[in-house]
Amino acid sequence: MDNSLLFYPLYGVILGVPLILYIRREIRREAAVKEAIAKGQVFSDGPLGQHPQIDITNCIGCQGCTTVCPEGDVLGMVAGKAALLKPHRCIGHGMCADACPVGAIIMVHSPPGVSANLPFMTPELETSVSNLFIAGELGGLALIKNAVNQGRDCIDTIAARLASRQGGAVDPEVFDVVIVGAGPAGISASLRSIERKLRYLTLERDSVGGTVSKYPRQKVVMTSPVEFPLAGSFKKTQLSKENLLAFWKTICEREGFQVQTGHTVEKIYRHPDGVFTVSTPTAQYRGHAVLLAMGRSGTPRKLGVMGEELPKVMYRLIEADHYVNHQILVVGGGDSAVEAAMGLAIQIGNNVTLSYRKDSFARIKERNVKRLREVVKSGQLQVIFNSMPVEFKEGSVMLEVEGEVREIPNDYVWIFAGGIAPNDFLKSIGIEFGPKDLTAEVVGEAGRIHAMAVGSRG
């Protein structure tokens, strides 16, 4: 008998064991992916903005897209192909498309007005009111990069329309565009207006920076490379709130950006001649076009709990390190609540409880899931699911946990229950919400174009 035959079983073990382990790992991974898909279907209404579209016939299963996505398990592998697992978590980074070596992923937009809770917008970001545009999170699309791009693109559309309608006397009291909001979209739109030599006016009710200026100090802002008008490409992918605001300030000062802060827009009215009047408590301004670049969070949503009017109950956390040696309750189940709770929990002497009315977190980012697990394991933070505060007192909180009311010591409460979107304000302008049949009603120039497009497809 040839002694070499004795080595065949050994070779089989050497080759077979890793193969078996690999197959078992892939089976477990695909089972986890299918579970994620099921959860995504439960919690998701589908993508509301820009999201990846995957051509599975060209996908080679390299997993490059799944590893670069900063939002966790938005993408996963199913039967060796990339798949969109949790579309509600996708905020349109586009890094997956950049990472795909064969071009099997492209970034697409959801149909205009896909949600009944969002204003109707055309692909040009025009609302049902002709020459009134929306850019940024007010239209349902998150991410600084998207806001910057949308603000820039809206101004390009407005500039093109103004150029095509040149002729006649120019009224010096009518701006080419009035921009409402000085966050990422508003700043980008303002800089683009300077670049396109438009007469513009930017109004901001708070401070320059919008939602970013209200982030907790040193909160890391995730971005992706973006092209800023007049400033060129901005390539940093991680930076603090302070660094981002400083970058914007440098650009704005250099380019002569003019903004009127402390001006809350109360009314917008479109006259029969197409000119808008934008009203604040102290003044009125007129413009040929209006760009709404304001945030969507609006007024913080309250719980309606007894004692909620106490000074210790707050809805926004700016400086976590100002609170030490306190008994703290954070209420909410989103990223803002989790990040605030973790930020407060690592401060000296704090005893922090995070209360959430459901039995698990469904919508928080994957990086927050991992960090939360570590903070809870260290004993710095206690999470109580299926719970809801029923009364706030001076030195305690009455917390209902699975039908049982407990009283826990408390010095401060932060509530993160979302905000009341400015939908009533938008409706007062005449903006329609939800899907709209463009073949049934022609809305301005953009409406006529889209109606023709719909007809040609039919």
State the CATH number of the domain containing residue 58: 3.30.70.20
Same domain, 267 and 181: yes
Q: How far apart are CA 4 and CA 107, in angstroms?
A: 56
Note whether 277 and 357 are same-domain residues: no
**pLDDT-flagged residues of the chain (< 50):** 1, 40-44, 112-114, 437-458
Q: Where are the beta strands (DSSP E) in 322-443?
A: 327-331, 351-355, 381-384, 387-392, 396-401, 404-409, 412-415, 419-420
Give the list of residues 6+ apart from residue 205 with CB closer than 8 angstroms, or none: 261, 262, 263, 264, 265, 294
The verdict on residue 384 lying in a domain is yes
Is 226 found in the same domain as 213?
yes
pLDDT for the residue 58: 86
Identify the pLDDT of residue 451.
Answer: 36
CB 453 within 8 A of CB 368: no
pLDDT at 31: 63
**What per-residue confidence (pLDDT) applies to 437?**
46
> Could you give phi then psi for residue 430, rounded to 5 degrees?
110, 5
- 424 part of a folded domain: no
Instruction: Identify whether residues 313 and 276 lie together within a single domain.
Output: no
353: left (phi over 0), alpha (psi -120 to 50) or beta: beta
Quick one: pLDDT at residue 132? 97
> Any idea what the CATH number is for the domain that residue 305 is in?
3.50.50.60
What lies within 8 Å, CB to CB, of 392 at 6+ separation is 305, 306, 307, 308, 310, 312, 313, 398, 410, 413
- Are residue 141 and residue 212 in the same domain, yes or no? yes
For residue 449, tell me if it sits in a domain.
no
Q: Which of 296, 321, 347 is the last residue of a domain?
A: 296
Q: Are 292 and 327 found together in one domain? A: no
Does 252 share its domain with 313?
no
| One domain, residues 155 and 228 | yes
Range of the domain at 22: 3-108
Residue 442 within a domain: no
- The number of domains in the chain is 3
pTM of the prediction? 0.69
Residue 163: Cβ-neighbour burial (10 angstroms; 0-12, 13-18, 19+): exposed
Same domain assignment for residues 313 and 292:
no
Say whether both 91 and 138 belong to one domain.
Answer: no
Are 137 and 245 within one domain?
yes
Question: Does the residue 426 lie in any domain?
Answer: no
pLDDT (0 to 100) of residue 110: 58
Q: 315 in a domain, yes or no?
A: yes
Q: Are 197 and 262 within one domain?
A: yes
Instruction: Write the single-letter amino acid at 451.
Output: A
Q: What are phi and psi of 239, to 5 degrees?
A: -165, 160
Task: Give the residue from 261, 296, 331 where a domain finishes.
Answer: 296
What are the φ and ψ backbone dihedral angles of 233, each rounded to 5 degrees? -80, 135
Tell me which of 108, 143, 161 is where a domain ends: 108
pLDDT of residue 457: 33
Would you say residue 439 lies in a domain? Answer: no
Tell whether 437 is covered by a domain. Answer: no
CB-CB contact of 85 with 76 (8 Å): yes
pLDDT of residue 438: 41
